[in-house]
Structure 1
Amino acid sequence: MLEEYLKEWSYLAVFILSALPWVESAAIVVLAIALGLNPIWSTILAFTGNWITVALLISLFHRWQEWRNKKQPAEVRQQQESKKSRQAHKVFVKYGLPGLAVIGPLLIGTEVAVVFAMIFKAPRKNVLFWMTTSLAFWTVLFAAAAYYGFSII
């Protein structure tokens, strides 16, 4: 009975830990599986916790950008955006955003990758899509590696 009770709290801990900034769902899912938790539930909860943080960060950063743009005169914004910077922005959104989303969680962390994407003014829908795809990929990959790796041992 106590063991079952502790497992229920363990699943809540998986969700909460992966929702913490700078704690990656891929690492938490490996820990959860190593501790004997159900790999499917651990994967779902770790992904969901990390995804909620990403979605919240995108939304808050977008609102902050809107607030900042209201404070800055339109002439200043137009002067800052040259033709080259608009072209560079298009290239980043098309090619750099997917790369940042895929590599970012491993090198700099999911939240930092989101902030970089938003600083570079990538559309928030694209950031959310690519970060969701990346989180799902890495979480499932690490969960499968942990599950099958621990099964072999």
Structure 2
Amino acid sequence: MTSFIAYVVVFLLAATPFFEMIAVIPLGVAAGLNVVPVTILALLGNVVTVLLVILLINQIQAWLTRRREAKGKEPSLKRQNRAKRVWKRFGLPGLAVIGPLFIGSHLAALMGMSFGGTKKQMTKWMLGSLTLWCVVTAVASYIGIDLLFTYTDREGFLVDLLEG
């Protein structure tokens, strides 16, 4: 039952904006969970909430505007300007592929929709991008953890380094 809860936590953390699957997969693998279910659950968690952002874009933008006006704040321009530069240079595919790494997948989807991407285009590119990043992160995490800790007969890189 404990491992079931751990996998549920992986799903929920991956679904959380700004935590993202790129952080969850290495944590899950380092915690000793199986890399395949961690990767699948992290992808599903992230995809579910990104699809919600895409589907509910109009309501989210209205809520953000009301919230900003109530607080009397101006929108944060740093991330928005970074996303605009990527959009101008690489278009929707570039924002969808690069966005999850630098500004987060949820914000990339929100900004892609705000800059003129259609729901269909954004969904297609974000699903491809998130799948790509999940696979890359899973492979890197698995190889990295294998190098750092002992999962085979040999001692890992970290053990060798610490024992000098």
Cα shift readout 1:80-109 (whole Å, capped 9, x = no counterpart): xxxxxxxxxxxx69x510000111011111
Amino acid at match of 2:104: G
Identity %: 43
Cα shift readout 1:53-79 (whole Å, capped 9, x = no counterpart): 0000100005668xxxxxxxxxxxxxx
- Contact kept, 8 Å, 2:7 with 2:41, in 1: the verdict is yes
**CA distance in 2 between partners of 1:126 and 1:63 (Å):** 19
- Contact kept, 8 Å, 2:14 with 2:46, in 1: the verdict is yes
Question: Equivalent residue of 1:122, what SS?
Answer: coil
- Paired position in structure 1 for 2:100: 105
Structure 1 unaligned blocks of 5 or more: 66-91
- Contact kept, 8 Å, 1:62 with 1:118, in 2: the verdict is no
- Contact kept, 8 Å, 1:47 with 1:136, in 2: the verdict is yes
- Paired position in structure 2 for 1:45: 41
Amino acid at match of 2:118: P
Residues 64 and 18 (structure 1 numbering): CA distance in 2 closer, same or farther, change over 3 Å?
closer
- Paired position in structure 1 for 2:138: 143
Q: Equivalences for 1:90-101 in 2 at 5 Å?
A: 95-101=90-96
- Contact kept, 8 Å, 2:22 with 2:137, in 1: the verdict is yes
Q: Which runs of 4+ in 1 moved over 2 A?
A: 62-65
Amino acid at match of 2:146: S
- Contact kept, 8 Å, 2:53 with 2:60, in 1: the verdict is no
Question: Equivalent residue of 2:56, what SS?
Answer: helix
- Contact kept, 8 Å, 1:62 with 1:124, in 2: the verdict is no
State the TM-score, normalizing by the size of structure 1.
Answer: 0.75
- 1:21 aligned to which of 14, 17, 35: 17
**CA distance in 1 between partners of 2:60 and 2:96 (Å):** 21
Q: Equivalences for 1:3-152 in 2 at 5 Å?
A: 5-62=1-58, 95-152=90-147
**CA distance in 2 between partners of 1:142 and 1:120 (Å):** 28
- Paired position in structure 1 for 2:151: none
**CA distance in 2 between partners of 1:107 and 1:44 (Å):** 22
Amino acid at match of 1:28: V
**CA distance in 2 between partners of 1:62 and 1:32 (Å):** 34
